[in-house]
Each structure stands twice: as structure tokens, then as C-alpha cells.
A and B are shown apart, each in its own frame.
Chain A
Amino acid sequence: MNRLLPRPVGRVDWVLLVAVLGLLVLSTLLVWSATDHRTALTGGDSTAFVRKHVVNIVIGLVLMVMVWATDHRWVRIVAPLVYVASLGGLVLVLAMGSTINGSKSWIDVGGMSIQPSEFAKLAVVIGMALVLAERTEGRWRSRVGAGDVVAMLLVAAVPACLIILQPDLGTMLVLSATVFGVLAAAGTPRRWLALLLAAGVAVAVAVVAGGFLKEYQIHRFMAFTDPSLDPKGAGYNVQQARIAIGNGGLFGQGLFHGRVTQGGFVPEQHTDFIFTVAGEELGLAGSALLIGLLGVVLWRTLRIAARTEDLFGRVAAAGIACWFGFQAFQNIGMCLGIMPVTGVPLPFISYGGSSMFAGLLAIGLLQNIHARTVAPAAVRRANGAGLLAVR
């Protein structure tokens, strides 16, 4: 064993780890099937995308291990830096990002594309948890007060506004759900939660009625109910996604044998619509397995949240659960036609470095939190503390 490298200390949540690895394996197969025949994307090399995807996974796993091994106090110190960095990223993307599908969400740096909003979600969760922890630890009152709520909302608001400016509606929805979940898990009084909910709905109504959204944007949004509203754009996606998934039947057409997938009928199939590959080629059995694995991840995340004594850890874990849960629901729901078409990737499955890194960083953090939830005696038995082990 190389003693120079930091080692994860304490207990490992094996179920979480295995579930995530399972999702990653599935994701590799699905991305491969979605891209091997799409010569317009790959330029003829059928493994071009899956190789890049595997590289992303490996980097992500490395990041995960790094976070996992970091001492929790360092996490608390580094967290604000992460928050600021992601804010910087969001500003940068507005300034010099490329406009794709009507929104500026990507920065192209040296051949790589970075999507700052993916990191921003993690940053918001950590930021809010940190602010709450800093404010309540060592305080007499343990109830979450108005000031705490306002502080947390402010932390969330800045990135949120930057995201609206892109505009990235999908990430906004996920972020809103996440923020709400964090506040709820943090212990915000129910009355205020209700108020916030009402306020959110009011804002949404005002935006639509006030004509802030263009007609085509509304049509694109509503196309999931009636594909004919946007037949060449979102409506087409919705139609083809449904046909692909429906075509899968019980056991699917088999990997690399899905008619709709292999015919290239579903756009963005390796990114936002990756679930349709599972639906068509693995059928109900495979898709249910995929959803099940995601469910396991969420269950363990919430379990970590419930078990930890550390407020920061609890709130962060709950926030991560909301983020994954709602994003997964949004993405799969969009593929199934029960949610509007928005450009959010499926965590751990979609092709895309930013999403993969952000997700695995979060898992690393979760494992970190979980590790410290063990009795201190077990920790002291760890031998060979790495550089980052400060105790």
C-alpha cells in the first residue's frame, strides 16, 4: 500500500459505493450503445465517446476518493472556496459561454466543455449547510431562526440568479427543489416552508402571465403534454423518447439492438435522454433496475443524513439527496413524458464530465460524512495517517 496517498479512514458505506459503481457500469454500456453508430458525433470512431466517458468516470472516482479522504475540518475550510469558485464559473459562463439551444450554459476550455451550473448545485448545498452550521454551532438556541433562513436563501439566491440569466430552466427547477429540501431538513418551521412554497408558485405564475417567457419557450415547456405544440423541437424529442421506451417492452430489444436508438431517432440520446436507451434496450426490467439503483443511492444518502450527529453533514446529505432525487425524477420524467423537456442530465448515467464530477464529488462527501459517523474508537485504529489527516 502506498503510504503517500491518503487513505479513506473509517467505515465505508459499501451499499452506496456498490450502487454507484453499478450505475457507472450501466452508464458506460448505455453511452456506448447510444453513440457507437452516430457517426455525425463520433466522426466514425464507434468508441470515441465511450472512451471519453470512461476517462470522465475515472477522474470522477479519483475526485471522489480525494474528498472522501479529506479530513472533515478541511472540508469545512475548503467549502467556501468551492462556493466562490462556482460563482466565478457562473459569471464566466455568462460572459464567454457558448450559446447552445438558446442558453449560455457551457464554457469551452481547451477542447473540454465545462457546465458550471452542475458544480453550482453542489456548491449551493454545501454553502447553505455551512452557513447554517456556522451560525448554529455554539449558539444557545438550536432552533432555526429567521436569520438563518434568510442567510441560507441568500447563499442560494446568488447562484440562482446567475443560472436564471443563462437561462437554464431545468437547473433552476432542480435548484429550487434542492433549496426547499435543505431548508426543510434543516428544521425550518413549517409555516415558513409553506410561505416559501406559496411565494415560489406566485413568482412562477407572475413570470408566465407577465409575458417574461416567449411563446416558443412556453410551447417547448408544454410540449410534454402535447407534442404537436413543438413538433420539430421538444415535441419531437418527447415523441421519439416515448416510442423508444415503449418499444422496449418487458425485457428490451437488447443492448445495441434498439431500433429507435440505433436509428438515431432520439436527439441528445447520450446526454439528456440517456434513459431512453435503457428503456428501449433493457426494457422494463433494466429500467426498473436503473431506477432501483438510483433509489438505493438516495436511500443510503438519507440514511447517512439521519444517522450523522453533525448538522453540517446532515443538512448537506439531505440537500444532496434532494438534488439527486429531484434531478433524476426530472430527467426520467421528461423521458417518460410526465415532466417538461429541460436540459438536466441523469446523475451518474448521462455522458458529461461536469455532471459526473459534481455527482462523484458529492458521493465522496457523503462517504466522508458517513465515515465520521462511526464511534471515534474505530478511527484511532487507522494507521498511517496521510498528509491531510489533521486531528
Chain B
Amino acid sequence: MSTSSNRTSRLRLIVLQALVFSLFATLGVRLWYLQVDHGSSYQAQAASQSAREVVQQPTRGLIVDDMGRPLVSNRNEWVVSIDKTTLGNLSADDQRTLLARVAKATGETVKAIKKAMATWNGSAYQPVPIAEDVKQQVALQILEQPEDYPGVVAEQQTVRSYPSPYGVNAADVLGYLSPITSDEYDQAKKDHDESLNATSEVGRAGVEKEYDKWLRGMPGYTSVGVDSLGRELGKNKEVPAQPGDTLVTSIDAKVQGTAEQALHDAITTARATYDPVTHKNYVADSGAVVVMQAKTGRVVAMASQPTYDPSEWVGGITQKQLDALYSTKSDNPLLSRATQGQYAPGSTWKPVMTTGAITGGLPTDQHFTCGPGLQIGNRYFKNYESESYGSISFAEALGVSCDTFFYQVGLHFWNKYGSDPANADAKDPLAAAAHSFGFGKPTGIDIPGEASGRVGDRKWRASYYKAMKGYYCTMDEKGTAKTPFLKLFAHEFCLQGNYFRQGDAANFTIGQGDTMVTPIQLARAYSALSNGGTLYQPTIGKAIVSPDGKVLKKIQPKVVRHVAVSKKAIDYVNTALLGTLSPHGSWNGTLAWKFGGFPLDQIHLRGKTGSAEVEGKQSTSWVATYDKNYVVIMVVTQAGTGSGTSGPAVRKIWESLYGVQGDQNTTQTVDPSKAAIPGVTAPKALPTFAKDGSILPPAGESSREGKAKK
């Protein structure tokens, strides 16, 4: 070969060498770019795709009664979840197969599973729960065959359970849980509240909501290493969840059970009873009962009808169930009649009026004629409640519940101080007493959504007039009233809507007119009567205890005020109301016929019945009873007279409270050891929280049985 071609060859080889070198240099530069310049971002991507952070929802705190019996507890359930990222990495065919397989195993539809994954608002790296409360065998099947279920996780979570000791429901006291809304979560993020995450459940009503911050605990986090199929390779980091604190309530499950049953029976009985006035059975569409400790304002039992089952929300409520809860047919079971139901108090208002009247100057032996009615202005005001009795005193008027007597009381003060109907500031001792007893304002009880009620006095009349004047005057001017009645009303309202006339005073005094009260307000007011005039803020919560038994907070009774009526007045009423329960020769107390045989000599019950008239409906029946320890109030709407409907039910509750033995037709005896709460009075101490997590009755409880307490 010639050397020149050799040289050319050699030259070309050098060129080739240079080319190879430059290619490899390019590789090196690119390597540097990826690993050094952008290394940290790729490291982050590698880390995030090969780890899955799973939030561990904490176990929610328990809610227990005064004896430590769990009213709301937790149980374990198996939840099946799917990791979205892993699913997305499968081919379309594999995805279909997997979803079908999971659907078959869990009993969900593929459509439902897809929807659950699409509407997930938790972290994108967290598996989405698609089936809750699955059978253990399904969960184990998934756990044992990870190749058949790539990206599918089965694990245990705690959910709310309702042990229902003594069959209690107590939904209006306890409330329910539902998932956090995105607005609430945004707010939590703003507040840097770490106890909430995108998939937390929060309390929605009752004490679950009021004490949610304590009950919810703190979530934990587990970071798990995963491979490309989403299979777990090992735990990277684990922060354990902290369980929530336990709420001790003053509710007693036994009393609650009795109260709920009693209310149910009262309503059932009413519905089977014929009303001669409206010529049909009583509708008895709703009701409430409150049992309160007179000396502290603590609620021992509280029930409302219609009610709901809080466990419907466990695992997510279906649309069907929700529709049922909100339908007009079901009549708002989510509304707690005890705290949110506002009703005209009817004759249960009279004791309050009596204290106001006596404090306002009427002598205790004031007598008025109890006739069949009173002509006031151009209207005849009937005595709805009682028969005619001639000249009677306050005590008898309360005992038989004579309307005419109280009309005259009302008129007395109207004439004395408020004869100018337009004067909203006129002195009114009766209204003052009502306000002082806490009506017209929420009691401040520790469950949300309480209604404020309304005292239908002059001041209210004036402010209502101010608010509605524009509306009705415009209607009057423009003549836009739809019915002749409304036309007349609008005209009259525009001119004199603020007038508090004699008729208004009469109605006010017998608990009709614009006055509305909630059962809890009434219970509290009667507690004030019982304990000599102290108005308490009602409480359900008694204490907050950490999971290991340490008392974190004690919820003490709070005095709102001392009712501004004289001691003389309160004492008089307390004595007078004894008469409601017994026969007296010439007259019988309105409750007497339902309390025959009851050991009234040992249990000094006081009582007041009420039947409030309602426009276009059957009357609301009330019974308010108390002794020095307890107040028991029951109301049933559209159920006729108080004693007729609620009397027997209330009696049952008292029998349970005191351990009254024996048939109702015989003379009954009292056995405190058989009382619902042994020893009758509720324990001051808290339940004992043992180190192993079990909760026992308060110390010293067993020794209280057998002691006769009144």
C-alpha cells in the first residue's frame, strides 16, 4: 500500500477519534446537566413516586355518661383503597380488569368506585377509599394476593359506633359526624390547625360538634416506600396518631332511656286518642323531654321526636337517606325540639307570671273570680283551661290553671303601668320576670344551634313594628295584599302595629300571643324556682379526660344570674305548685288524676300543665314538674292537654328517678337503691378511668346505694 493512502487513512482515523471523543463528551455534559444541575429536582421526583404518604386518622374520643357508660364509641372496620398513581400506570385493559375484580370482591359497582376516585379531595399520593366496612375475609383476600390487586390497599380504620346502653338514641344530644367540607379545610389550613386534614370527619351537631376540638385527636402519618406497581416496600417514617379526649357528660343512660321511652309512649298514646275538638285523633307530630338537675343546671336526659339514627352517617350517608331526613314527610328529624323547638308555653308560663305579679306588688292572697271568660274591649277572652271556680287565690288558679284569673292579673298591671298601648317602655313586672327567668335569649347550653325563643312583650312588639312597618305600609299604600284579611291586617299594622293592648296583655299572661319558649328554657326556669332563684347555664358536658385518664378540664355549673323576683314570690309558687298534683276537695290539681298512688309525701313534686293554642292546629301539650333535685319537662305538639298526654309519661320518669316501686293504682313505695341513678342524686364525682382504658362508675357509687335520699 502506498504511504499516501496510509496517511489519508491515518488522518481519517484521527478524525474518527475526534468525532468519538466529542460524542462522548456530549454524553458527559448531558450527564452533568441531569445529575448535578437538576439532580435535586429529579431526586424529589424519585422520592415522591416511590413513597406514599398515608394519613392515619386518629381514633376519636369517647362520649360517656355520668356513670362512665359509653354513649358514643368507636369500632374497627376494614377499608379498601386504591392508589391512583399505580392505577394510572397500568394499561387500559389491566385497569378495567382490576376495577372489575375489586368491584366484585367488595360488592361495589365499578361506576361507584370510579366516582369515589374522581371526587377524592385528599392528597394525590394517598390511596382513595372506595369501599368501607368490608368483610374481613375480603380484606384478607386483597392483602394476601397483592399481584392480583396492584395498588389496592386494605386496612383497618376506626369509625363511630353507638353502643346504645339501655336502648338510648340521644341523637339530639350527641350529634353525628360527616366529612370536612373544602371551605372548612381551607379555614383549618389558614389557622394552621394540624388536627384537621382533607379527609377528616367533623362533628355536625350536638356535643360532637361543640366539643369537636377535644374529641378529634391528632392525625398520624406513615410514609411508605412503594414500587412501580404501588406495592409496599417498607415503612420510611411513622408518626403515630393521637387519639381524641373523652367527654364525660351529665347524661345518665338509664334516665335517658326511660325518658326516650316515655316520650315515645306519650306520642303513641296521643296518636291513638280522639280529639273531640278537631274530630280526629291527635297528630302528635313532635315532642321533647328534658330532665335537669335543679341545683346545677346539668342535663341528665334530653330527648326529641322525631329523631334520627346517628349511625346512618357512619361510612358516608347515602343520598336516599339524606333525602329521607330532609323530606317534608319526615318533619325535620335533625331539629332538636328540646333546644331548637320554639312553642307557645301556654299555662306553664303562669308560675313565672305569678312570681312577677307578687314581686310587682300583688299580695299573695290576691283573689280574682275565675269565670268562664272575660270581655276585653270588643273581644271575649275564654277560659280555655279550667272550669269556673268563683273567687280563688293564686294557688288555686295555678292548681286548676284558670285563664280568667290570670287575664285579670295581666289587666291589673296593664291598667296600672301600661295603659298607653304605644308606650314600649312602660313598666311591666310580668315581662320583667319573664326576661329575668332567661326567656327570650338562648340559655347558652353546650350544643350548637339553640333557638332564642321570644318574650312577646311591649318592647318586642315595638321592635317588630319597626322592622315590618315598611313592608306592611307599602302593602297598604299600594294595595298589593293578596287576601282581604291581609289587606285589613296590613292597614291596621301600619297604623297601630306597635300597640300593646289589653288583649295583648291578657294573652301574654297566659303564655299565648307572640311568646315562644324552648323546652330547655322552661326547664331552666323551673330549676330556678326549685333552687330558690339561681339561673344556671345548662350544661351537658361535665369533664374532658385524656385517653390515659387524666382530667384535662372540668366543666363547672355556671350561674347566669339570680332571678330578680322576691323570695316570697318564689316560695309562694313552690308551695302553690304542690297542689297541682293532688286532689283538694273542691278542686283537683290538673295533674292529680295522673298521679294517684304516687308517694307524694316522700317525693315533694311540684307541677304545672299547659295546653297552648296554635292557630290552625291542635294544641301543644306541656307538663313541667320539679322537686328539689330534678326538673322534668315534656312537650308534645298537637297532642291536646298536658296532663292527658304527657302526665303518665312524666310520672314514669319520676318513678325511675326515685326507684318508685309498685303498681300505679296502688300506693307506691320509694326504694332509692332501685333508682336509675343509685342514691337518686346524680354523682358529683367523675367516672373512674382505669389505666387499662376501662371506665368505671364514680368512686363511692356503690356505697350510695341503700341510703334513702330524697
Option from B20, B26, B42, B225 in Cβ contact (under 8 Å) with A298 = B20
Q: Tell me if A344 is interfacial: C-beta within 8 Å of chain B.
A: no
With CB as the reference atom, state the residue of chain A lying closest to B14. Answer: A306
Within 8 A of B (CB), among A246-277: 246-250, 259-260, 262-265
- Given A259-B46, A311-B1, A321-B16, A246-B38 contact (CB < 8 Å): yes
Q: Tell me if A214 is interfacial: C-beta within 8 Å of chain B.
A: no
Contacting chain A: which of B2-10, B347-355, B646-654?
B2-10
Within 8 A of B (CB), among A316-342: 318, 321-322, 325-326, 329, 332-333, 336-338
Complex formed: what's the CA distance from A9 to B8 in Å? 30
> Quick check: B30 and A243 within 8 Å, CB to CB?
no
Q: Give the residues in chain B near A306, CB-CB below 8 Å.
A: 9-10, 13-14
Q: Give the residues in chain A near B42, CB-CB below 8 Å.
A: 242-243, 245-247
Whole-angstrom distance between the Cβ of A369 and the nearest chain B Cβ = 14
Complex formed: what's the CA distance from A247 to B42 in Å? 5
Q: Tell me if A354 is interfacial: C-beta within 8 Å of chain B.
A: no
Residues 326-369 of A, flagged 1 when their CB comes within 8 A of B and 0 if not, give: 10010011001110000000000000000000000000000000
Q: Tell me if A108 is interfacial: C-beta within 8 Å of chain B.
A: no
Q: Tell me if A283 is interfacial: C-beta within 8 Å of chain B.
A: yes
Q: How many residues of B contact A (CB 8 A)?
A: 44
Q: How many residues of A contact B (CB 8 A)?
A: 53
Complex formed: what's the CA distance from A142 to B20 in Å? 27
Option from A232, A265, A299 in Cβ contact (under 8 Å) with B228 = A265
> Quick check: A302 and B227 within 8 Å, CB to CB?
no
Q: Tell me if B449 is interfacial: C-beta within 8 Å of chain A.
A: no
> Quick check: B16 and A318 within 8 Å, CB to CB?
yes
Residues 1-45 of B, flagged 1 when their CB comes within 8 A of A and 0 if not, give: 110010011101111110111011011101110111011011101
Q: Give the residues in chain B near A260, CB-CB below 8 Å.
A: 46, 49-50
With CB as the reference atom, state the residue of chain A lying closest to B27. Answer: A332
Complex formed: what's the CA distance from A157 to B5 in Å? 26
> Quick check: B228 and A184 within 8 Å, CB to CB?
no
Q: Tell me if A153 is interfacial: C-beta within 8 Å of chain B.
A: no
> Quick check: B39 and A247 within 8 Å, CB to CB?
yes
Complex formed: what's the CA distance from A280 to B32 in Å? 13
Sample 19 A-B pairs with CB under 8 A, ordered by A number: A142-B2, A236-B89, A246-B43, A246-B46, A247-B39, A263-B50, A263-B233, A264-B227, A264-B228, A279-B35, A299-B17, A302-B17, A305-B13, A325-B23, A329-B23, A329-B24, A333-B26, A336-B30, A336-B34
Residues of B near any A CB (own CB < 8 A): 1-2, 5, 8-10, 12-17, 19-21, 23-24, 26-28, 30-32, 34-36, 38-39, 41-43, 45-47, 49-50, 89, 91, 225-229, 233
Complex formed: what's the CA distance from A333 to B26 in Å? 9
- Given A259-B47, A259-B50, A325-B20, A336-B31 contact (CB < 8 Å): yes
With CB as the reference atom, state the residue of chain B lying closest to A299. Answer: B17
Q: Give the residues in chain B near A245, CB-CB below 8 Å.
A: 31, 34-35, 42
Complex formed: what's the CA distance from A329 to B8 in Å? 26
Q: Tell me if A7 is interfacial: C-beta within 8 Å of chain B.
A: no
> Quick check: A262 and B233 within 8 Å, CB to CB?
yes
Q: Tell me if A388 is interfacial: C-beta within 8 Å of chain B.
A: no
> Quick check: B16 and A302 within 8 Å, CB to CB?
yes
- Given A265-B49, A306-B10, A321-B20 contact (CB < 8 Å): yes
> Quick check: B30 and A338 within 8 Å, CB to CB?
yes
Whole-angstrom distance between the Cβ of B233 and the nearest chain A Cβ = 7
Whole-angstrom distance between the Cβ of B370 and the nearest chain A Cβ = 90
Option from A236, A249, A288, A336 in Cβ contact (under 8 Å) with B39 = A249
> Quick check: A284 and B16 within 8 Å, CB to CB?
no
Residues of A near any B CB (own CB < 8 A): 37, 142-143, 181, 184-187, 232, 236, 242-250, 259-260, 262-265, 279-280, 283-284, 287-288, 291, 294-295, 298-299, 302, 305-306, 309, 311, 314, 318, 321-322, 325-326, 329, 332-333, 336-338
Q: Give the residues in chain A near B91, CB-CB below 8 Å.
A: 232
Q: Give the residues in chain B near A336, CB-CB below 8 Å.
A: 27, 30-31, 34
> Quick check: B16 and A322 within 8 Å, CB to CB?
yes
> Quick check: A185 and B9 within 8 Å, CB to CB?
yes
- Given A232-B91, A302-B17, A321-B20, A187-B46 contact (CB < 8 Å): no
Most B-side CB within 10 Å, residue of A243, A246, A287, A302: A246
Complex formed: what's the CA distance from A318 to B43 in Å? 40
Q: Give the residues in chain A near B17, CB-CB below 8 Å.
A: 299, 302
Whole-angstrom distance between the Cβ of A391 and the nearest chain B Cβ = 22
With CB as the reference atom, state the residue of chain A lying closest to B46. Answer: A247
Option from B21, B39, B226, B228 in Cβ contact (under 8 Å) with A246 = B39
Q: Give the residues in chain B near A248, CB-CB below 8 Å.
A: 35, 39
Q: Give the residues in chain A near B12, CB-CB below 8 Å.
A: 184-185, 187
Q: Give the residues in chain B near A305, CB-CB below 8 Å.
A: 13
> Quick check: A284 and B24 within 8 Å, CB to CB?
no
With CB as the reference atom, state the residue of chain A lying closest to B91. Answer: A232
Option from B15, B16, B24, B45 in Cβ contact (under 8 Å) with A291 = B24
With CB as the reference atom, state the residue of chain B lying closest to A292. Answer: B24
Whole-angstrom distance between the Cβ of A209 and the nearest chain B Cβ = 28
Complex formed: what's the CA distance from A142 to B2 in Å? 7
Q: Give the residues in chain B near A142, CB-CB below 8 Å.
A: 1-2, 5
Whole-angstrom distance between the Cβ of B146 and the nearest chain A Cβ = 11
Complex formed: what's the CA distance from A243 to B23 in Å? 22
- Given A243-B46, A259-B46, A279-B16 contact (CB < 8 Å): no
> Quick check: B9 and A288 within 8 Å, CB to CB?
no
> Quick check: B20 and A284 within 8 Å, CB to CB?
no
Complex formed: what's the CA distance from A247 to B41 in Å? 8
Q: Give the residues in chain A near B19, CB-CB below 8 Å.
A: 325
Known: A299-B17, A336-B31, A337-B34. 6 other contacts (CB 8 A): A185-B12, A236-B89, A246-B45, A247-B42, A264-B228, A288-B28
> Quick check: B9 and A187 within 8 Å, CB to CB?
yes
Complex formed: what's the CA distance from A283 to B35 in Å? 7
With CB as the reference atom, state the residue of chain A lying closest to B5. Answer: A142
- Given A242-B42, A291-B28, A181-B229 contact (CB < 8 Å): no
Q: Give the residues in chain A near B9, CB-CB below 8 Å.
A: 185-187, 306, 314
Complex formed: what's the CA distance from A325 to B17 in Å? 10
> Quick check: A279 and B31 within 8 Å, CB to CB?
yes
Option from B16, B27, B35, B45 in Cβ contact (under 8 Å) with A250 = B35
Complex formed: what's the CA distance from A55 to B43 in Å? 35
Q: Give the residues in chain B near A244, CB-CB below 8 Å.
A: 46
Most B-side CB within 10 Å, residue of A232, A244, A260: A260
Whole-angstrom distance between the Cβ of A374 and the nearest chain B Cβ = 18
Complex formed: what's the CA distance from A309 to B9 in Å? 11
> Quick check: A284 and B35 within 8 Å, CB to CB?
yes
Complex formed: what's the CA distance from A246 to B34 in Å? 5
Q: Give the residues in chain A near B43, CB-CB below 8 Å.
A: 246-247, 249
Complex formed: what's the CA distance from A325 to B10 in Å? 18
With CB as the reference atom, state the residue of chain B lying closest to A232. Answer: B91
> Quick check: A187 and B26 within 8 Å, CB to CB?
no
Complex formed: what's the CA distance from A179 to B124 in Å? 51
Q: Give the residues in chain B near A329, CB-CB below 8 Å.
A: 23-24, 26-27
Whole-angstrom distance between the Cβ of A306 and the nearest chain B Cβ = 5
- Given A265-B227, A336-B34, A243-B8 contact (CB < 8 Å): no
> Quick check: A143 and B5 within 8 Å, CB to CB?
yes
> Quick check: A185 and B13 within 8 Å, CB to CB?
yes
Complex formed: what's the CA distance from A288 to B29 in Å? 10
Whole-angstrom distance between the Cβ of A330 and the nearest chain B Cβ = 10
> Quick check: B13 and A318 within 8 Å, CB to CB?
yes
Whole-angstrom distance between the Cβ of A194 and the nearest chain B Cβ = 14
Complex formed: what's the CA distance from A259 to B233 in Å? 10
Complex formed: what's the CA distance from A237 to B229 in Å? 15
- Given A142-B1, A243-B46, A263-B227 contact (CB < 8 Å): yes
Q: Give the residues in chain B near A184, CB-CB below 8 Å.
A: 12, 15-16
Q: Give the residues in chain A near B227, CB-CB below 8 Å.
A: 37, 262-265
Q: Give the residues in chain B near A295, CB-CB below 8 Å.
A: 20-21, 24
Whole-angstrom distance between the Cβ of B13 and the nearest chain A Cβ = 5
- Given A245-B34, A306-B10, A185-B28 contact (CB < 8 Å): no
Q: Give the residues in chain B near A311, CB-CB below 8 Å.
A: 1
